[in-house]
Amino acid sequence: MSSERFPSIIVFDVNETLLDIDTLTPFFTRVFGKQNVLREWFAQLVLYSQTMTLSGLYTPFGEIGIGTLQMIADIRQVTLTESDIDEFKERMSALPAHPDAAPALTRLRDAGFRLVTLTNSASSASPTPLEKAGLSQFFEQHFSVETVSKFKPAPETYQMVADTLDVDTSDLCLVACHLWDTIGAQAVGCRGAFLTRPYNEMLSAPNVPVPNLIASDLSTLADQIVGEKHG
C-alpha cells in the first residue's frame, strides 16, 4: 500500500454489494425453471447498460433491467405476463441487505469515515430500496448515475461524486463487489476496495488495476479500511 493518507470518504456500490440480488432466485426459478438465469440476466443488464453509455445513449437502469428480462424470455421462448413483470419490479425494489452490511457500515461510521452511495439505479421515491433494507441512515448522501446520464464505470460517474462533495477523486474509496466498478474508480484516481462475493473474482490481465483492498466479506473489508486509516 501507498504511504499516502487513506481516503476519508467511502463510496458504496449498492446492488449486490449492499443488497442481496440472490433473493430474486425464486422468481427466476419459477419463470424460467433454472435459477442460474438470474446471473445471465444480471450480466446482460450490466453489458447493455455499459453499451448504452459507450454509444452515447441513456435509458434508466430499471428500464434496461425489464428489457433484458424480456430479451432473455424471448431467447428462451418463455412468455412473460404483466403479473410476472409486476412481481419482478416489486422484488427489485425490496432487496434485503446482506447480513454483513449493517455491521460493516457501523464499524466504518464509528471510525469516523464519511459514507455515501453511488448506484446505477435511478433515484426513487421514499421508501427507497436502501430505506426498506434498513441501511439508508448510514449514509450522508446517495448518488445516482442518472445525474450524468452515464453508467458506471464511466469516469463521469465517480467524478460527479467528487465534484458534488467538493473533494478530489483521491479522497474517495469505492467499495464494490464488481471488479469493473473498482477498475473504473481507480482509473480516475479513487482507491478501490473489492468485495469478492460469490460470482465475482479478480481478473488477471495486463493493465487491469489491482484493487487496493480485497476481502470476501464486508466486515473484513471494513476492518482493512479502518486499519489503513490508523496505519
Instruction: Split the chain (231 residues) into runs of 10 and give each run's mean pLDDT.
Output: 76 98 96 91 97 98 97 96 97 96 98 97 92 97 98 98 98 98 98 95 96 97 93 69
Task: Please tell me whether residue 100 adopts helix, strand or coil conformation.
Answer: coil
Domain contains 30: yes
CATH number at residue 78: 1.10.150.240
Within this chain, do residues 174 and 83 fall inside the same structural domain, yes or no? no
Q: Which grid coordinates belong to 165?
A: 462533495
Within this chain, do residues 63 and 100 fall inside the same structural domain, yes or no? no
Within this chain, do residues 26 and 104 fall inside the same structural domain, yes or no? no
Within this chain, do residues 15 and 108 fall inside the same structural domain, yes or no? yes
Q: What is the pLDDT of residue 25?
A: 95
Main-chain dihedrals φ then ψ at residue 217, nearest 5 degrees: -145, 155
Domain count, the chain: 2
CATH number at residue 104: 3.40.50.1000
The answer to whether the beta carbons of residues 75 and 190 sit under 8 Å apart is no
Within this chain, do residues 112 and 187 fall inside the same structural domain, yes or no? yes
Q: What is the pLDDT of residue 36?
A: 87
CA-to-CA distance for 203 and 200, rounded, in angstroms?
9
DSSP string over 16-75: TTTB-GGGGHHHHHHHHS-TTHHHHHHHHHHHHHHHHHHTT----HHHHHHHHHHHHHHH
Within this chain, do residues 130 and 75 fall inside the same structural domain, yes or no? no
Q: What is the pLDDT of residue 2?
A: 44
Residues 6+ apart with CB under 8 A from 9: 113, 114, 115, 116, 165, 167, 171, 172, 173
Domain contains 197: yes
Main-chain dihedrals φ then ψ at residue 79, nearest 5 degrees: -90, 120
Within this chain, do residues 170 and 115 fall inside the same structural domain, yes or no? yes
Domain contains 4: no
120: buried, middle or exposed (CB in 10 Å: 19+, 13-18, 0-12)?
A: buried
| β-pair partners for 19 | 15, 97
- In the chain the first and final C-alpha atoms are separated, in Å, by 10
Within this chain, do residues 113 and 189 fall inside the same structural domain, yes or no? yes
Residue at which a domain ends, from 43, 74, 92: 92
Q: What is the pLDDT of residue 35?
A: 75
Within this chain, do residues 75 and 103 fall inside the same structural domain, yes or no? no
**Domain containing 137: what range?**
9-20+95-230
What is the edge-to-edge ordering of all strands in the sheet holding 191-195?
141-144, 114-119, 9-12, 172-176, 191-195, 213-215
Residues 6+ apart with CB under 8 A from 177: 13, 16, 17, 194, 195, 196, 197, 200
> DSSP label at 95?
P
